[in-house]
Structure 1
Amino acid sequence: MMSRFQRSLWILATLALTPSACVKAPPSHQGPHSSDELPSFYQPPSPLPTEPAGYVIAHEKLTGPAALESAGSNERVLYLSNSGSVGEAPVAVSGIIALPDGPAPTGGWPIVTWAHGTLGIADKCAPSRDAIGASAHYFNQAPHRLLNQFLKKGWAVVMTDYEGLGTPGRHPYVLGNSEAYGTLDIVRAAKKLHGNKLSTKFAIVGHSQGGQAALFAAARAPTRLTQEEGLELVGVIAYAPASAMRLLFHAGAGREEKSPDSAFMPLFLTGAVEGNPSKVKLTDFLSEDAVKLYERVDTECRVELSEETSWGGIVPKDFVMKESPVFTELNAQLEAMDPSTLQITVPVRLVQGAQDERVNPAQTVLVKLGLARQGATIDYVGCPVADHFGVLGDDIPGTLAWLKQQFTGDAPTTPVLSSCQPLP
């Protein structure tokens, strides 16, 4: 029998993922990844430099909406990382490095490496390419209030775009190792650029997709980083982390009406396919029309995929799956994306809004229980009036106090005034 939490998760999954009516599949695009014409900065040399992960290929001053207002300097960076796919080939990844205003303190500014939430797969969605009027602009701006608070505290902020988001290749959505490498390697890139201005201490913070990415990065840090580098991960914060990918995908595929959340089905598939392309093949389980519609991930951000003219306008039950689909390899990849079985050795802070309709609070409870079974030390925090994005504002006081304690070892001397409170 299902537990109470599992039943709650199943119910939300069936409510949160919905599509109906028939939409004509778009004409096929040329090639596997034809988002838009990449600006020259995002086009790495071929072949890539034979340098270690974190090597800086290019960097330039960043201005405009993508830049953080409270920073003394913002720069766009292109650095080496590794793919999360089989073989883990070297890849170029883009991102942003923002330093606090004023001179660096003795020992350097501590670093927060930020893992962003769902934006889409198309290159135009990348945070470092954000522009006013862009379809992903609202979602790229959503964490800026929080990130600016980090800078005001005297912490440097580094923000990966993730593999394939802004750069050549398809972004493998919620593919844990890919996200982890990008999130960790931009810390290395920042240290190579700014040396002793930056501390060796860093924390990982992420939201939604990025919450899951943050947990994967924390789990992979002990083997990804070398002792010689001297980098010290002090803790990880995950706001409403993505989880239960297998359950959500199949619940969505069985829906009998339309929903904008159907956009997440093709996003999940990009990570599954790119994670093991020789074994996970769309034609094993998707209908011909769904395979054609899938190609829209390369040109549409998540909000566009949710529209009636795209995945938001189909009835999944009658459209997505072929007759007699084969799910074995797909299911294995979807299950590997779930963060609840990770082993994390640094302190973990999980934050969840009670009003969240994108990530069910029961999902985050299951993540907490799973991580605890693997030995993690977890502070679980609930925000009673916060929705999916509201946690990024409501928990600012608690987040700042918690990170300060991890960086300095000093516990708060006065109560933290916040609507978000610890939960058992």
Structure 2
Amino acid sequence: MTRTFERAAPPVRVALGALALAAGVTLAFTDLDIFAFTRIAGIALVALGLGLIALEAGASASATPRERRGPWRWLAPVALILTGAVIAIRSDFGAPVLAALIGIGLMVYGVLSSMQSFRTHESRRLAGLLSAGASIIIGFVSLTWPVLTLDFIRIGTAVWLAFVGLRLLFESLIRRWARRAGITWSPKLRVRHTLAAGGALALAVLLAIGSGWLLRSDNRPAPGNFYASPANLPGEPGELLRSEPLTAGVPKGARAWRILYTSTSGDGSPTVSSGTVLAPLHPASGEAPLLSISHGTTGVSRPCAPSLSATPFADGAATSLTEMIVEHGWVGVTSDYTGLGTEGQEAYLIGEDEARNVLDASRAARQLSELHLSHRTVVWGHSQGGHGALWTAKIAAKYAPDLTVVGTAAMAPASDLYGLAEVDKSNAGGKVISAYIAASWDTHYPELNLRAHLTPGSAPGVDRISQLCFNDQDAIAAILRGTQIPNQVFPDKLLAGELGTLLRENSPKGPFDSPLLVAQGLADPLVLPQLQRSWVGDQCAAGVPLDFRTYPGLGHMELVGPKSPLTPQLVQWTLDRWNGKQAPNNCGSLPAG
């Protein structure tokens, strides 16, 4: 390509230089998303290919037969035209392809440049090798950050075009004049070139180290023998299989156990789940009140079980939980959900499966010899846990008649799964949730064959995210991975089809067999307040009594934080349900959502 430019007539080089400079300035100062940039890049590749063909044809026309090159000279221009056309026409497919081509191209260029460096003069060899190393490393980093790469490439392309334009103008005008005037270039330029190449390599190494540090995962313990299913599994759900003391993350004034118990899978077959039990260190006499907790999103792989975490009781309304245990003498039982800790794949946001795990955990906890627990319970849940809590309230009377749910508190619940999938499909958090759904539902709903129907370029990100938990450093890595999925995970036609139907089927709807509290932060960017308000309105219209409370300025996690006004209200609401007070119902005057 460089030789083609060199062989072009000076006026052509001047025109190309001016055009490249203008294009670079325009690209740098125009606001483009990655898909618009991808389309422009595709068109530019087509134009470049056509331009190279025109230049080559012009050069060949004036060349002697010996100077003319073989048919292979058309290979690069034709490849550019075909690649550019595909990328421009299918930008959703082209964006990840373009990012991959950039990364691979940089690495290939680096390898070829390193080989070429050994054939150059010694004075330029070191600079060439340093530049080649930088190119290889940056190419590798580019494959890890495809969306960020396209953003940088947009700016980089603008700078490169401006540089090429200036260089062509320089070569065609200034340097030509310098040669005529007998001016030579200082050897110091070679030293500067070497220093610049060394700086580029150092920057590339820092980028690679920084990328690895940001995307590192937590060193989580693998589930041990405690989580293994026994050879002879009891057929009844809610049977306590084993327990052991738990000391990690236990609040002062409390004691805890890890439990393994039987439950029921989606197809009705027996399965095994694990969980935790948190109790006061010095319980009062008589039956202790029971709090059944459905935990929020922690991931979908086995090491993501809360009972394996260093902080197993920090999820959701942790401050309220500690107060209920230590100050009011309640016992809190949290299911890990089958597939977290235990073998299998978690049924993420599959309502009945979550609810069965929650109810069976409470059944199993009542069999601990160290405790004496009531059959009456209040259910709590935040986010995914709010979804599970609502489903627990919905099926409790039929599935677990030996338990009596006297109240259910759902905090920022994922109540409208289809609505959330629509509004959150393009943001990083929504892509993480979609990745978890894709990994989980591919197992539980094999007829969907989700893995084969993800948007172009999504599968690698989905695979990586599905192995990450959603707390501590893993959560940061998962969100960053989500930003690098160029498209929404599920195509619109999939959401409009059977996947959308199943999302709606797994969205909880009344009647609920216990008083209901729904709490929502009005600054929640994940579970949007307007969606929650719409869902609550639908339940009220269907005759479901509930207490809907909103909290201005509070986001998804702040809603259940220690300084949230919900914290003391949740404690009091729970105590009131236990004491049999009439539950509030504000369906007639719902607060704004």
Bin for the TM-score computed over the shorter chain: 0.7 to 0.9
1:294 aligned onto 2:471: no
Question: Which structure exhibits the higher relative contact order, with contacts defined as CA atoms closer than 8 Å and separated by 6 or more residues?
Answer: 1
Q: Which amino acid in 2 is paired with 1:313?
A: Q
1:52 aligned onto 2:236: yes
In the superposition, relative to structure 1, how do residues 130 and 195 fare at CA in structure 2: closer, same or farther (>3 Å)? closer
Q: 1:20-169 alignment to 2 at 5 Å?
A: 22=99, 24=143, 37-46=222-231, 48-65=232-249, 67-71=250-254, 73-84=255-266, 87-106=267-286, 108-131=287-310, 140-141=314-315, 143-151=317-325, 152-169=327-344
CA contact (8 A) 2:520 2:551 kept: yes
CA distance in 1, matches of 2:494, 2:383: 29
Deviation at 1:367, TM superposition (A): 2.3
- Could you tell me which residue of structure 2 aligns to residue 235 of structure 1? 407
Q: 1:198 pairs with 367, 373, 376, which one?
A: 373
CA contact (8 A) 1:354 1:384 kept: yes
Structure 1 unmatched ranges of 5 or more: 1-19, 27-34, 413-420
CA contact (8 A) 1:79 1:186 kept: yes
Structure 2 unmatched ranges of 5 or more: 1-94, 100-141, 146-219, 584-588
1:362 aligned onto 2:530: yes
Q: 1:273-284 alignment to 2 at 5 Å?
A: 273-277=442-446, 279-283=447-451
CA distance in 2, matches of 1:266, 1:76: 29
Q: Which amino acid in 2 is paired with 1:177?
A: E
CA contact (8 A) 2:419 2:531 kept: no
CA contact (8 A) 1:25 1:290 kept: no
In the superposition, relative to structure 1, how do residues 304 and 163 fare at CA in structure 2: closer, same or farther (>3 Å)? farther
Deviation at 1:235, TM superposition (A): 0.7
CA distance in 2, matches of 1:195, 1:377: 37
Deviation at 1:337, TM superposition (A): 1.9
Aligned residues: 367
Deviation at 1:40, TM superposition (A): 1.3
Q: 1:377 pairs with 530, 538, 545, which one?
A: 545
Q: Which amino acid in 2 is paired with 1:148?
A: T
Identity over the aligned pairs, expressed in percent?
26
Deviation at 1:117, TM superposition (A): 1.2
Deviation at 1:271, TM superposition (A): 4.6
Deviation at 1:323, TM superposition (A): 11
Q: Which amino acid in 1 is paired with 2:399?
A: R
CA RMSD of aligned residues (A): 3.0
Deviation at 1:153, TM superposition (A): 1.2
- Could you tell me which residue of structure 2 aligns to residue 188 of structure 1? 363
In the superposition, relative to structure 1, how do residues 386 and 170 fare at CA in structure 2: closer, same or farther (>3 Å)? same
Q: Which amino acid in 2 is paired with 1:170?
A: Q
In the superposition, relative to structure 1, how do residues 351 and 342 fare at CA in structure 2: closer, same or farther (>3 Å)? same
Which stretch shows the higher mean deviation, 373-382 or 324-333? Answer: 324-333
Q: Which amino acid in 1 is paired with 2:305?
A: A
Which stretch shows the higher mean deviation, 188-197 or 214-223? Answer: 188-197
Q: Which amino acid in 2 is paired with 1:38?
A: P
In the superposition, relative to structure 1, how do residues 307 and 49 fare at CA in structure 2: closer, same or farther (>3 Å)? same
CA distance in 1, matches of 2:418, 2:144: 25
Q: 1:285 pairs with 450, 453, 460, which one?
A: 453
CA contact (8 A) 2:296 2:316 kept: no
| SS of match in other structure, 2:368 | helix
| SS of match in other structure, 1:80 | strand
Q: 2:577 pairs with 401, 406, 411, which one?
A: 406
1:248 aligned onto 2:416: no
Q: 1:316 pairs with 476, 481, 487, which one?
A: 487
CA distance in 2, matches of 1:104, 1:174: 36
In the superposition, relative to structure 1, how do residues 54 and 297 fare at CA in structure 2: closer, same or farther (>3 Å)? farther
Q: Which amino acid in 2 is paired with 1:204?
A: V
| SS of match in other structure, 1:153 | coil
CA contact (8 A) 2:438 2:451 kept: no
Q: Which amino acid in 2 is paired with 1:244?
A: D
Q: 1:211 pairs with 386, 389, 393, which one?
A: 386
Deviation at 1:141, TM superposition (A): 4.8
Q: 1:353 pairs with 518, 521, 527, which one?
A: 521
CA distance in 2, matches of 1:323, 1:380: 32
CA distance in 2, matches of 1:58, 1:242: 32
CA contact (8 A) 2:381 2:411 kept: yes
Q: Which has the larger radius of gyration?
A: 2
CA distance in 2, matches of 1:269, 1:197: 41
CA distance in 1, matches of 2:310, 2:539: 37
CA contact (8 A) 1:382 1:422 kept: no
- Could you tell me which residue of structure 1 aligns to residue 511 of structure 2? 343
| SS of match in other structure, 1:193 | coil
CA contact (8 A) 2:227 2:341 kept: yes
CA distance in 1, matches of 2:241, 2:467: 26
- Could you tell me which residue of structure 2 aligns to residue 3 of structure 1? none
- Could you tell me which residue of structure 2 aligns to residue 415 of structure 1? none
> Once superposed, which parts of structure 1, at least 4 consecutive aligned residues long, lie more than 6 Å away?
none
CA contact (8 A) 2:247 2:256 kept: yes
CA contact (8 A) 1:305 1:312 kept: no
| SS of match in other structure, 1:262 | helix
CA distance in 2, matches of 1:275, 1:342: 24
1:220 aligned onto 2:391: no
Deviation at 1:39, TM superposition (A): 1.3
CA distance in 2, matches of 1:176, 1:343: 15
Deviation at 1:290, TM superposition (A): 3.0
Deviation at 1:404, TM superposition (A): 1.1
| SS of match in other structure, 1:92 | strand
The structure richer in strand per residue is 1
In the superposition, relative to structure 1, how do residues 105 and 386 fare at CA in structure 2: closer, same or farther (>3 Å)? farther
CA distance in 2, matches of 1:158, 1:164: 18
- Could you tell me which residue of structure 1 aligns to residue 498 of structure 2? 329
Deviation at 1:196, TM superposition (A): 7.1
1:394 aligned onto 2:562: no
- Could you tell me which residue of structure 1 aligns to residue 209 of structure 2? none
After superposition, give the CA deviation of every residue in 1:350-406 in whole Å (9 maximum; x if it has no partner): 111122222111122122123223432201112223221222242122112111111
Deviation at 1:49, TM superposition (A): 1.2
